Amino acid sequence: MEKSTNAAPIFWSLLAYQDWNMHIGATEKGLCYVGSQNCPFHELADWAAARFPGSALVRDDRMMQRYADELIEYLEGARESFTAPADLRGTPFQLAVWKALCDIPYGQTRTYTDIAETIRKPSSVRAVGAAIGANPNLITVPCHRVIGKNGALTGYRGGLDMKTKLLELERNVSYPKEDVQHA
């Protein structure tokens, strides 16, 4: 006998823009998942099964369009922050870390230590790293802006190539190469 469930569905779509291919998901409350670049659907399915047990995954490109539009604007360098609603679910500690990530200005970086100090838990650097690693919304909750204390790029669920691309995108928009005119 099949169990009945009242779990709300997770709507999803594949965002395909230039060389970016990411699965995105949302509940009726807001964006709950932005996947890694060029990862298969099972990344979203595995995450949803663990975080939203019993929720059906329903492809709905039209419902997901507002989230896709904002992500595309970001990837084009035309958007620095996101206004579409999010449905972030985590522990109070994770939510505090994710909020601190959202407060990192576009084009800037912070260290894990900076984030631990921001949330007033300076001795929790490792726990901050774990919370950042559990961030379900790549890009919109900008964990790519967190670097090691020595300035080195460190782990990222989307991979260091994706992290590098995002940081370069933001750096190029924030500090565009000036056209030098010689008289």
- Which positions are annotated as active-site residues? 143
Q: What is the distance of C-alpha 170 from the center of its chain?
A: 14
If 0-12 CB within 10 Å is exposed, 13-18 middle and 19+ buried, where does residue 31 land? buried
Question: Do 34 and 136 form a contact (C-beta atoms < 8 A)?
Answer: yes
Q: What is the distance of C-alpha 135 from the center of its chain?
A: 7
What radius of gyration do the chain's Cα atoms show?
A: 17
Q: Tokens 């559990």 appear where?
A: 134
What is the DSSP pairing of strand 31-34 with strand 10-17? unpaired
